[in-house]
Amino acid sequence: MNSGAPDTLVLDDLTVSRGIGPVISHVSLAVAPGSITAVVGPNGAGKTSLLESISGVIQARSGTATFGGADITRLSRRKRAKLGIVHVEQGRAIFPSLTVRENLQVASRDRATIDRTLEYFPELEKRLDAPTALLSGGEQQMVVLARAFAARPKVLLIDEMSLGLAPVVFLRLLPVVQEFAATGVGVLLVEQFAQLALGISSDALVITSGHVTYSGAAARLLDEPETLRKAYLG
Ligand SMILES: Nc1ncnc2c1ncn2[C@@H]1O[C@H](COP(=O)(O)OP(=O)(O)OP(=O)(O)O)[C@@H](O)[C@H]1O
Ligand SMILES: [Mg+2]
C-alpha cells in the first residue's frame, strides 16, 4: 500500500472512542481515487462513527489518518473539507426553504461546476427554482448528493443514502455514484443494503462492534454469502 499516493486516503490502526469506550478499534484502510469501498455491518457497528472520524466530526484516540501522504489525524473538519473530504451525513440535510439552485450554490459558486453536476441529475434541472421542501424524498436525496458532487470532493463519504427512499429511487442513485467515482473520486459508501452497495463497489469493509471483520474485494462477498454472514457475526 502506497500511503503517499496522491489523493489516497489511508487509515492506519485508527481507534475512536465516544462515551463509554471505543466504537472503532484498530481500523486500517485505503481509499484510492476512483475506487468505491462499501462499508457494511450491523446497526451500531460503528459505520457512522468511522465516517465521522474521517471527516473530523469526531477525533481519533489513537492511530493515524493521512491524505495524499499528509497527516490529517488532528485536522479540524473544516480543514479536511478544504482538502476535499466531503461527508454526506446519515439523514437528509438540505436547506428546505432554499431552492434547489440555492442549495447547490451553497456548495459551489462556480456556474460550470453546478451545470456539470446537474448532468448527473436531469430530474433536478426542471425543479431548479422550487423550494427543496416541496420535492419528493428521492429528489431531496438527489439534491443532497448533487450538493456533495458540486463541492468537488476528492474523497466522498456517503452514509446510508437509502434511508427513507423507495428501493426504485435508491437503485436509480447507485449508478450515479458509480459514474461520479469513475471521474477519479474515492468513495466510502456506508449502506444498510449490503448486496446493492457491494454490487457497485470494488472493495468492501465489514465492521462489527467497531472491529473490521472483512477487508478485501467486494466481489468476493457477493460470490460467498457465507463469508459475508460470518463477517457480520464477527
Ligand atoms: N454521539 C454519540 N455519543 C455516544 N455514543 C454514540 C454516539 N453516536 C453513536 N454512539 C455509539 O457508538 C456506537 C457506534 O454507533 P454508529 O452510529 O457509529 O453505528 P452505525 O454502524 O452507524 O449504526 P447504524 O447502522 O444504526 O447507523 C454505538 O454503540 C452507538 O451507541
Ligand atoms: Mg450509522
pLDDT string in tens for the chain (234-residue length): 555 678 999 999 999 999 889 999 999 999 999 999 999 999 999 999 999 999 999 999 999 999 999 999 999 999 999 999 999 998 767 888 999 999 999 999 999 999 999 999 999 999 999 999 999 989 999 999 999 999 999 999 999 999 888 899 999 999 999 999 999 999 999 999 999 999 999 999 999 999 999 999 999 999 999 999 999 998
Give the per-residue pLDDT at 92: 64
* Same domain? 227 vs 214: yes
Ligand 1 site-directed mutation target among 47, 51, 163, most atoms within 8 Å of CB: 47
Give the per-residue pLDDT at 58: 96
Residue that finishes a domain, picked among 114, 131, 151 = 151
* Same domain? 131 vs 203: no
Strand order from edge to edge, sheet including 70-71: 21-31, 9-18, 62-67, 70-71
Q: 151: closest CA among 227, 55, 71?
A: 55
Domain boundaries, position 98: 93-151
* Same domain? 78 vs 22: yes
* Same domain? 34 vs 130: no
Phi, psi at 105, each rounded to 5°: -70, -20
How many whole angstroms separate alpha carbon 154 and alpha carbon 77?
Answer: 15
Nearest CA to ligand 1 atom 29: 44
The stretches of 160-207 forming alpha helices (DSSP H) are 167-181, 194-199
* Same domain? 30 vs 119: no
CB atoms within 10 A of CB 208: 18
Which is the closest atom of ligand 1 to the Cα of 45?
Answer: 21
* Same domain? 160 vs 142: no
How many whole angstroms separate alpha carbon 170 and alpha carbon 186?
Answer: 20
Q: Is 91 in the pocket of ligand 1 (CB under 6 A)?
A: no
Residue type at position 68: G
Nearest CA to ligand 1 atom 17: 48
* Same domain? 48 vs 102: no
Give the per-residue pLDDT at 217: 98
- The total domain count for the chain is 2
- Residue 149 to residues 41, 53, 82: CA-CA distances in angstroms? 26, 21, 14
Give the per-residue pLDDT at 53: 97
Residue that finishes a domain, picked among 106, 132, 151 = 151
Task: Show the CA angle centred on residue 31, arms to residues 164 and 38, nearest 5°.
Answer: 30
Would you say 36 and 200 are in contact if contact means Cβ atoms under 8 Å apart? yes
Q: 89: closest CA among 48, 117, 53?
A: 48
Extract the C-alpha cell encoding 96. Answer: 428546505
Q: Is 25 in the pocket of ligand 1 (CB under 6 A)?
A: no
How many whole angstroms separate alpha carbon 178 and alpha carbon 200?
Answer: 6
Is 4 part of any domain? no
